[in-house]
Amino acid sequence: MDISLNGFGENVATFAVSGEVKSGMPVKISANGTVAPCAAKDKFCGLVLSVHNGYAAVQMTGYIKVSYAGTKPTVGYQTVNADGTGKVQVETTGRLLLITDVDEPEGTCGLVLA
């Protein structure tokens, strides 16, 4: 039997956009009510679900599938931050998040934003 965590604890907020952001990338708060792309090793506030007319829907909490860079993450609590190219990476500093699944061929992992 397959399981799904899609929709678990999902909370989404709308922000104005500064810079070039795309769906799936981690973003940070850059000004009042505004998000921008993350640089390498930035802690991110959420991941972009969609962008339209200068606004982004950003998932702030809950389960999400995201592309990773660098070392393959392992399931369990890991320290995660942005890699500066629109992906996340496991590092020694960042946000402590629960990684629930890893798909190495796809280069993605499922994590729970808290």
The pLDDT tens digits for 15-41 are 999 999 999 999 999 999 999 999 999
Domain region containing 91: 64-113
Q: Bridge-partner residues for 18, per DSSP?
A: none
Q: How far is CA 54 from the centre of its chain?
A: 19
Q: So what's the pLDDT on residue 65?
A: 95
**Which tens digit of pLDDT belongs to each residue from 68-105?**
999 999 999 999 999 999 999 999 989 999 999 999 99
5 in any annotated domain: no
Q: What is the pTM of this model?
A: 0.92
Q: Bridge-partner residues for 58, per DSSP?
A: 13, 48
Q: How far is CA 26 from the centre of its chain?
A: 4
**pLDDT interval class at 3 (50, 70, 90):** confident
Q: How far is CA 65 from the centre of its chain?
A: 8
39 in any annotated domain: yes
The CA-based angle 88-93-97, given to 5 degrees, is 55
22 in any annotated domain: yes
Let me know how long the chain is: 114
**pLDDT interval class at 113 (50, 70, 90):** very high
